Structure 1
Amino acid sequence: MIKQIAVILLSLLWIAGCSDSNIKRNTELEKNLHSSIIMVSDKSESYLYLSTFVEFEWDKAFLFEPYTTQADLEKQLGVKFTDPSNIGSRDDIYLLVFVNEGKAVQYAVIERLHTTFSLGDQAYLEPSNDTLYIER
């Protein structure tokens, strides 16, 4: 009986260790992006370089529009990612997800602020090509 309980506990710990629960919401990045977006509010079109705000290792950053489904998130990311923002049912935010070495590592919620964000014609950003476009 004790062996069975030990096996069950170890299995639960293993399953928990394989989840994406260690993905960090980067609220500092959110604040910095929000401030910068407001500062460029007088322009109809502008852009930000993401690398000026990011202080952690990443090799890809994906931007998801309002109403993006969980299935579409994972398909585009190519990794398991449980959406903590519930963007699939929201129209007031964008979701920025950072991937490093094939794992989702951090994310940021970006308030729309009557703004459209895009990556231009790219599917994702990289540190060497990191322009986030802003249109009002």
Structure 2
Amino acid sequence: MKKVVVVFILLLLLLAGCSSVQHNTDLGKSIYSIVKDKHNSEISLKSLTSFDWEKGFLFTPYSTEEGIVEQLGVNFNDPSDIAWRDDIYLLVFMNDEKVVQYVEVERQGADFTIGEKRYLTPSDDLIIIERH
């Protein structure tokens, strides 16, 4: 019985250690400040990020987890429950084909778009703010 408990604890620790996806609240606050200023019409992510990323995906309100997984190409358990929300956009960053960080972007009476692109890159990082 003791071995079973030890193995169970080790498995829990291993699973906890595998989750390297970070909710980046600081980036969310920085984006909030930019959107709050009505003179701003775009957000440049490269200047706001201090971590390595290759792709950034912007998901609209009511995006399903299945649609998110399909677009990312990897498994992602959406912690924001965006499928049920209309108050946020979800920004998911990937590096080396892994999700590394995500941000819940408050709408603040605005919508956000990346145009016809599938995703953002550090060299093509602009999110357009569409005010209502």
TM-score under structure 1 normalisation? 0.86
The aligned residue for residue 102 of structure 2 is 107
Alignment coverage as a number of residue pairs: 131
Q: Matched residues in 1 for 2:11 and 2:51: separation?
A: 32
The aligned residue for residue 28 of structure 2 is 30
Q: Show CA shifts across 1:46-84 (max 9, x none).
A: 212111111110000000100111111111111222111
Q: Matched residues in 1 for 2:33 and 2:80: separation?
A: 20
Secondary structure at 1:52 match in 2: coil
The aligned residue for residue 80 of structure 1 is 75
Secondary structure at 1:63 match in 2: strand
CA displacement at 1:3 relative to structure 2: 4.1
What is the RMSD computed on CA atoms of the aligned residues? 1.7
Percent identity over the alignment? Answer: 46
Q: Matched residues in 1 for 2:71 and 2:109: separation?
A: 25
Q: Matched residues in 2 for 1:92 and 1:131: separation?
A: 21
Q: Matched residues in 1 for 2:28 and 2:64: separation?
A: 22
Q: Matched residues in 2 for 1:120 and 1:33: separation?
A: 18
Counterpart of 1:104 in structure 2: which amino acid?
Answer: V
Alignment partner of 2:42 out of 44, 47, 50: 47
Q: Show CA shifts across 1:73-111 (max 9, x none).
A: 111111222111111100000010110111111111111
CA displacement at 1:10 relative to structure 2: 3.6
Counterpart of 1:125 in structure 2: which amino acid?
Answer: L
The aligned residue for residue 133 of structure 1 is 128
TM-score under structure 2 normalisation? 0.88
CA displacement at 1:7 relative to structure 2: 3.9
Q: Which runs of 5+ in 1 are unaligned?
A: none
Q: Which runs of 5+ in 2 are unaligned?
A: none
Counterpart of 1:32 in structure 2: which amino acid?
Answer: S
